[in-house]
Structure 1
Amino acid sequence: MATMKDVARLAGVSIATVSATVNGSAFVSPELRARVTEAINRLGYAPDGVARSLKKGRTQLIGLIVADITNPFFTELVHVIEAAMQDAGYSVLLCDTDEDFEKERNYLRILQTHRVDGVILAPTGTGDAYQGLKTLSERLPLVLVDRALPDLGLDAATVDSFAGAFEATSHLLDLGHRKVATIIGPRHLAPARDRLNGFRAALEARGLEVRPDFIRSGSFREEEAMAGAQDLLSGADRPSAVFVANNHMMIGVMRAIATLQLNCPKDVSVVGIDDFPWANAFTPRLTVVRQPVEEIGRAAVRLLLARIAGPAPQPVHEVLRPALVIRDSCAPFPLQ
């Protein structure tokens, strides 16, 4: 492996000149900089990042732990956060837990061994599993994204999931639907609980009964949502409309409708949470509640950089507002 001394010898300059070129710590003439750069490229020299980080007290690395990289919401979120952190001079170590809490805990340990300067985390576990997270945040800047843990008092950037579910369900009710069902996510996660509560509140605001048999768990997974939707829609007393609590489950519900040879929205109207690239390509085009992913990602980065710069007196929880995007998957009741 090439060393700084090797670069200096090939370029015909001092080690101090190579160091100043690599680190930008002092002026180097264009001629000498070009010679050093050529030598670096020829030798394949790479600075010792660990040694540099020990000198600076920073690695310029942050960890990003997401719950499911195959979910278009998290895919876009990763893109936004990586670009914003790069603009701030940081590189991102990406970890995908696949909604597995044990993987999440292991990734947190690994990121600490890499001496990351901070972590952005979308938690997957139950609230009582995170008692040690508050202590960790006292020595490692930590920001939650998408999923808050309110009892821990940690910085977070999330969406008003209650408002999104309330607006989506209200849209179905405004169209005249009264038999409205929902496919929900894991209830130990704050967004899933908030979306269920928003669904219930919209029905109760119209004086309508919340039917337990019209609430099915899809666990934020396509296959489980498909099974739940098939069960809901195959009986004689089926709902005329369904609110679906995320995009993966939305695909499962649309597959169930096709499998049962029903028509959306002629036989059943559907509205979901999360816009995604294919929502406008489905037939029908899907009505969804769009989450402001770019704003969420930038808020998480802003909060983390503030924590890295120095401890803030109080935790900050930024809650962003979603927006209903009306397309073709909902029709007025009675259905024709």
Structure 2
Amino acid sequence: IGLTVPHITNPFFTDVVSVIQQAFDRAGYAVMLCCTDEDLNTQDDQIRLLLDRMVDGLIVARVGDGAILKRIVDDANVPVVLLDRICKGIDTDAVVLDNQRAVFDAITYLINLGHRRIGYITGTSDISPMHDRMAGYREALHAAGLPIAEELIRFGNFHEINGYNETMQMLSSHDRPSAIFSANNPMVIGTMKAIRDIGLSCPEDISVACFDDFPWSDVFQPQLTTVAQPVQAIGEQAANLLLDRLAGNRDAPPRKLLLKGRLMIRNSCRPLGAIAQSVSA
């Protein structure tokens, strides 16, 4: 089985890969893992390589616009499952999270704590999870009647150093946000380091939440509020979809499984203003 992921160092993908590998091991298949590093050319070369090695099926967390990937998938005589990221025009099985709803709930939580200027650090806008998470951010502000301050939307390109730099810029402004939401966990590490280096404290000076739970999120000081993805279910469902196709169910219509995230409230976000007074009263 060929499996491609964009970041093997991202704890989310590390955990999903482990679940998928265990599922296929139980079914008698070996997994060939490739990491694309979010590079479109690398992805396409790796998928061609996997197909040349005669893999029985593919699970792909795609990068880029998907045009070349679509041609490869259309020409491949093996079943394909899209993981985490859907691609318009590719008519195949997929397992994804309801990213828009998950971020909507997280931003609404911050708004209910009294936050009005909420910074948002995203990755890139050309993949479906980041597009949907951004939509959830905007939807939550709109639903609360709050303006969308474009200067508070920053692109961190998924990496810690970019999360650090974008956070430093926001916190150095004259009208800094009272809360920051990071769209993945490597970037939130950069955010926490920036808060420390600029001489501020979380959550006393700025509240922080992020997408993706990870084993050490409750070891952080403060413990981080996160959106947890159902990693076990995502990996198992992706494997099951592919195994079903390999068992002979090739002609069934494509299936898209939409799973739900869960807001893990810890102590990296604090209430503001009247809400803080009512909590302490």
TM-score (norm: length of structure 2): 0.94
Match of residue 175 from structure 1:
113
Match of residue 162 from structure 1:
100
Taking the aligned partners of 2:157 and 2:239, their CA distance within structure 1 comes to 28
Any conservation in 2 of the 1:241–1:270 contact (CA below 8 Å)?
Answer: yes
Deviation of 1:289 (Å): 0.3
Any conservation in 2 of the 1:127–1:188 contact (CA below 8 Å)?
Answer: no
Deviation of 1:140 (Å): 1.4
- 1:258-305 residue CA offsets vs partner (Å, 9 max, x unmatched): 111110001110111000122111110000000001100011001111
Any conservation in 2 of the 1:118–1:142 contact (CA below 8 Å)?
Answer: yes
Aligned-partner SS, 1:151: coil
- 1:316-336 residue CA offsets vs partner (Å, 9 max, x unmatched): 010100000000100001379
Does structure 1 residue 206 correspond to structure 2 residue 144? yes
Match of residue 97 from structure 1:
36
Does structure 1 residue 318 correspond to structure 2 residue 253? no
Taking the aligned partners of 1:144 and 1:322, their CA distance within structure 2 comes to 18
Match of residue 48 from structure 2:
109
Deviation of 1:158 (Å): 0.8
Task: Could you tell me which runs of 5 or more consecutive residues in structure 2 were left unpaired when the two chains were aligned.
Answer: none
Task: Could you tell me which runs of 5 or more consecutive residues in structure 1 were left unpaired when the two chains were aligned.
Answer: 1-61
- 1:55-98 residue CA offsets vs partner (Å, 9 max, x unmatched): xxxxxxx0111110000001001100000011111111111111
Q: Which of the pair has more CA radius of gyration?
A: 1
Q: Read off the aligned partner of 1:303 and give its amino acid letter.
A: L
Taking the aligned partners of 2:220 and 2:79, their CA distance within structure 1 comes to 41
Match of residue 85 from structure 2:
147
Taking the aligned partners of 1:212 and 1:192, their CA distance within structure 2 comes to 16
Q: Read off the aligned partner of 2:192 and give its amino acid letter.
A: M
More helix by share: 1
Aligned-partner SS, 1:178: coil
Match of residue 281 from structure 1:
219
Any conservation in 1 of the 2:95–2:258 contact (CA below 8 Å)?
Answer: yes
Any conservation in 2 of the 1:269–1:330 contact (CA below 8 Å)?
Answer: yes
Does structure 1 residue 293 correspond to structure 2 residue 231? yes
Q: Read off the aligned partner of 1:106 and give its amino acid letter.
A: D
Superposition pairs of residues 26-175 of structure 1, within 5 angstroms: 62-137=1-76, 139-175=77-113
Deviation of 1:131 (Å): 3.2
Superposition pairs of residues 240-279 of structure 1, within 5 angstroms: 240-279=178-217
- 1:3-22 residue CA offsets vs partner (Å, 9 max, x unmatched): xxxxxxxxxxxxxxxxxxxx
Out of 192, 198, 205, the residue aligned to residue 130 of structure 2 is 192
Q: Kindly indicate whether structure 1 or structure 2 has the higher relative contact order, using CA contacts under 8 Å at least 6 residues apart.
A: 2
Taking the aligned partners of 1:130 and 1:105, their CA distance within structure 2 comes to 7
Q: How many residues align?
A: 274
- 1:237-263 residue CA offsets vs partner (Å, 9 max, x unmatched): 000011110111111111111111110
RMSD between superposed Cα atoms in Å: 1.3
Out of 201, 223, 231, the residue aligned to residue 169 of structure 2 is 231
